Amino acid sequence: MKVTMAQLNPVVGDVEGNMAQVVDTLRKCSGDAPDLVIFPELFLMGYPPRDLLERRWFVEKSQRAIQELRGISQTYPETGILLGTAIPTGEGTGKGLYNSALLIYRGQVLFRQNKSLLPSYDVFDESRYFDPAPKIEVFPFKNEVLGISICEDAWNDPEFWPRRTYPLDPIAILAKKGATLLVNISASPFHVGKEEIRHRLLGNHARKHALPVVFVNQIGANDELIFDGRSLFVNSRGDAVLAFPPFNEHLQTIETTSGEALEQYTPQERVESVHQALVLGIRDYARKCSFSKVTLGLSGGIDSSLTCCLARAALGGENVLGVSMPSPYSSQGSVEDSRKLAQNLGVQFRVIPISDIYATYLASLKEHFKRKESDVTEENIQARIRGNLLMALSNKFGYLVLSSGNKSEVAVGYCTLYGDMSGGLSVLSDVPKTMVYELARYVNRAGEVIPKQIIEKPPSAELKPDQRDQDTLPPYEVLDPILRLYVDDGRSAKEIIDHGFEPEVVTWVIRAVDRNEYKRRQAAPGLKVTSKAFGMGRRMPIAAKYNS
């Protein structure tokens, strides 16, 4: 069978636009005369549609699109169309919807396979909206017997996980029922290392059942989630025959009898994949939210410098405004470093001093703060002035404000609510500080873009004289591994201490993470690049008392 794999970028909610992509894809690949064109999971609606699925008009719009597509399919009488959408169950109980894969051919919906395994962990909440498939069937089409599954259906291989989430293995059922070709349509989000996990998982299915596997994944970014694509065709020996490029739309036709493996399947380099993911995340968030320009504060530090580089790569220098807002405690070097960065990138640059505004604040509060020593309050006033200035520019000129706090800072609350946390998108909120340095070196791999002095100088918020991050925080080389164990892996204090960390440091970090939950709840959406990000995939209580 000749199969066209369509790795595309849908827009959530835009049924008409996603439908137009389907039609355009059919036209583009018609010269290859494919037997089957395969689109990703829930492609007509975009993934994840979330509570749009609870709007009857939205589901009905998708149903009308399916009827339209049935008519269009008759223009391509030799080609089947396999794509994902939500379908009403027709039952009087349950959620009332299936997450479905439809096979459309010559004006008819020949076959429908509903999703069996509905994830409800981390960023997923599918059991909120869908009912599980009542049955799993194969379907003969052309020269193959199709075993169709949807994303999570392929992720419960008992030989792959030490602990299975579900009692059911849909892939094994499809193989037992006589499938000759396994097809998985997916909206599988990116995180560091996910690509390699997918490749091993799909290869394991192929080897175990001696069946080739077609895996079609979407690309693009929708809110916090980034989708890397990296669709695969794996032969019956478990070898990758075809691997699509990551983070880009791609369309390619392959014969399912093709069995010659790639010379070597090489996952994308870790730092390169995070860089591409963040660039795509900024570009799609801006585009899909109807922003063409962004602005951000340039402090002369590594976080804002990296964020500016990513924004420039995503949108072009002419669409990025960096703003230096020096206070009485800012070094002249920070302003000049920011200016040099802006020149290197070709982005717009402005300097708006805040010393006079800050003095006015202090004068206004002097009577109310009398007999009180200066403390973090005065530091935070400076950060909040900067946040207000950026939001004023956003209001006046229509910029999307990017905040640049990293995961290490956000985790322990080393950030100012309504100050440097202000913005429409938090670009680095899932990037630990140690990874920030890796990304900065990656940006400079072909020459100095981020000035050397920005990378080499000790991190500082510059909100009081001679301030350094390490005056308040453990060294990032210590902090980040503790955060990974506590936040990402869910380890207890004792387990973390058993890894060799000082008990006092571990206790401080855990308390800082827990007591700053209220800040993170009010933060801008952040782009997810690790296995556990703050935001939609981490639902911790605020008003609570517990010890780990």
> Would you name the residues annotated as active-site residues?
41, 115, 151
- Rounded to whole angstroms, the Cα distance separating 324 from 349 reads 8
Contact criterion met (CB below 8 Å) for 174 and 182: yes
Reduced to 3 states, what is the DSSP secondary structure of residue 308? helix
3-state secondary structure 238-306: CCEEEECCECCCEEEEEECCCCCCCCCCCCCCHHHHHHHHHHHHHHHHHHHCCCCCEEEECCCCHHHHH
Torsions phi, psi for 538 (to 5 deg)? -135, 110
* Residue 212 and residue 181 in contact, taking contact as beta carbons nearer than 8 Å: yes
String of DSSP letters for 30-58: GGG--SEEE--TTTTT-S--GGGGG-HHH
Q: Which H/E stretch holds residue 108?
A: strand 108-114
In this structure, are residues 277 and 298 in contact, taking their beta carbons and an 8 Å threshold?
no
Task: Name residue 2's beta-bridge partners.
Answer: 255
- Tell me how far CA of residue 88 lies from CA of 93, 131, 283, in angstroms: 11, 10, 34
**Crossing angle (nearest 10°) for helices 433-443 and 302-315:** 50
Q: Is 317 helix (H, G, I), strand (E, B) or coil?
A: helix
The H-assigned helical ranges of 398-535 are 407-412, 433-443, 452-456, 476-483, 493-497, 503-515, 517-521
- Residue 293's closest CA among 318, 323, 325, 275? 318
Place of tokens 């990974």: 484
The residue to which tokens 């072009």 are assigned: 316
Closest CA to 381 of 423, 335, 328, 307: 328
C-alpha 528: how far from chain center: 4
Side-chain half-sphere CA neighbours of 378 within 13 A: 21
Q: How far is CA 187 from the centre of its chain?
A: 11
